[in-house]
Structures are given as structure tokens and as C-alpha cells.
Amino acid sequence: MSLKTGADNPLSRLESLFEEYLVTKAPYSIPESGRDGIVKFMPWIVLIAAIVYAQLALGPLGLNIFLPYVLGTRGISGLIAAILHGIAAVMLALSVKGLFAQSQEAWRKVFYAELIILVAGLFESTVVFVFVSCLITFYILFQIKRAYK
């Protein structure tokens, strides 16, 4: 899965914008030792996140073992969020191997999955929580980006 990364790509422009505000203009940077630790454990963190988001995707089907609920309680917005969580879970799972190799493409898959999770949050009743957690995740992702080649 490879997306065009030229300057005309809206995702590349968004990535540049995040880079500017979350790295260049950020009032605080994660210390080098902290970044190294995050990069070391990132594949495992992403693997756990993939499992959690897969469970969120299975919720409307009644197959969620962590947070059981049925489609009738969430309606169509819950179904859309579940589909988006499923897509994010697959993207996160596909990025794990590349994260061990510190691949830039794997880092991008995590970034795109987090964007999908943000959109899924718009369909849930936890919009503020999802927005704040995505902002923190984006900050960490962009702080460690230079470790991925």
C-alpha cells in the first residue's frame, strides 16, 4: 500500500502541517532517550491498538469480547464507526512488521490509521475524547518520525 507523497497530495500537506506545529513549533520536545524508548516499543503498542480497534469493529456484530454492545444501541453511526475502526485495525496490524524495521511506510500507515480513527470519532458520542487522544498520538508520532527511514 503506497500513496503518492508529492506536495500536491492533501495527505502530504496535512503531514507537513502537523510536522510544522507538532515538531518545529512545539513548545516541548520529547527527549532523545524518550523517543528511542517509544520507537523500541512502538510495534507492540500498535499491535495492542490493532487488537483493541478490531474489537471495536466487531462490537456492532455482537462479537466484541471487551465492550459488548449491539447495532441497535448505536444505529448507523455506530456501524460506520465500526467499519472505520476495522479499517484502522487492519492498517495498524499491517504496519507492525515495518515498525520493527523502522520503515517510513509503516510509520505512514500508523499516521493514516490515526486519521481514520479521528474520523470514526465523529460518528461516536466520544468526539472530544477521540480528538484529544488523537492529538496526543499525533504529537508522539511526529516527535518520533525522524527515526523511521
What integer pLDDT is reported at residue 144 of this predicted model? Answer: 95
Asked whether the predicted pLDDT for residue 64 surpasses 70, the reply is no
Q: pLDDT band at 71, cuts 50/70/90?
A: very low
Q: What is the tens place of the pLDDT at every residue in 86-99?
A: 999 999 999 999 99
What integer pLDDT is reported at residue 78 of this predicted model? Answer: 78
Q: What is the tens place of the pLDDT at every residue in 43-52?
A: 999 999 999 8
What integer pLDDT is reported at residue 70 of this predicted model? Answer: 44
Q: Grid coordinates in use for 71?
A: 447495532
Average pLDDT of the chain, as a whole number: 86
User: By mean pLDDT, which of 28-32, 57-61, 65-69 is the weakest?
Assistant: 65-69
Q: What is the tens place of the pLDDT at every residue in 24-48?
A: 999 999 999 999 999 999 999 999 9
What integer pLDDT is reported at residue 63 of this predicted model? Answer: 62
The string of DSSP codes covering the chain is -----STTSHHHHHHHHHHIIIIIS-S----HHHHHHHHHHHHHHHHHHHHHHHHHHHTTBT--SSS--BHHHHHHHHHHHHHHHHHHHHHHHHHHHHHHTT-HHHHHHHHHHHHHHHHHHTTSS-HHHHHHHHHHHHHHHHHHGGG--
Report the pLDDT averaged over residues 67-73.
47
What integer pLDDT is reported at residue 77 of this predicted model? Answer: 80
